[in-house]
Amino acid sequence: MKPPTGGPTIGPTRPGMLSQAIASTSWLRGVTRAWVAAAIGGILGGAVGNVLDRLRLGAVVDFIDVDVGIWHWPAFNVADSAITVAVAAIALDALFSAKE
């Protein structure tokens, strides 16, 4: 059932959100370092921010636009930054941490 405004349907996303919460909880249980848990939180927080934008506005709003001289970086938002930094942190942890 669509809302009266013709916006996106929210009902079918509830099972997906529940399964994501369960998967995220099990992923966090295996984390032994606090900063890796924070990075996972950055990924989840960024994803939730983008999903909320999509549900509320119908699109993700990219509002940070960087130009340096003739170079132009694609537009992005805070959620995109959180996801990117967190993935880089987890990748560095995987590459350089001692095997347990």
φ, ψ of residue 7 to 5 degrees: the values are -75, -175
According to DSSP, the residues that pair with 67 across neighbouring strands are 72
Q: What 3-state class would DSSP assign to 97?
A: coil
Does residue 65 have an active-site annotation?
no
* Of 65, 67, 80, 93, catalytic: 80
Rounded to whole angstroms, the Cα distance separating 44 from 47 reads 5
Query: Assign residue 30 a region: left if phi > 0, alpha if psi is -120 to 50, beta otherwise?
Result: alpha
Residue pointed to by tokens 């909320």: 52
Does residue 53 have an active-site annotation?
no
- Catalytic residues, by residue number, are 62, 80
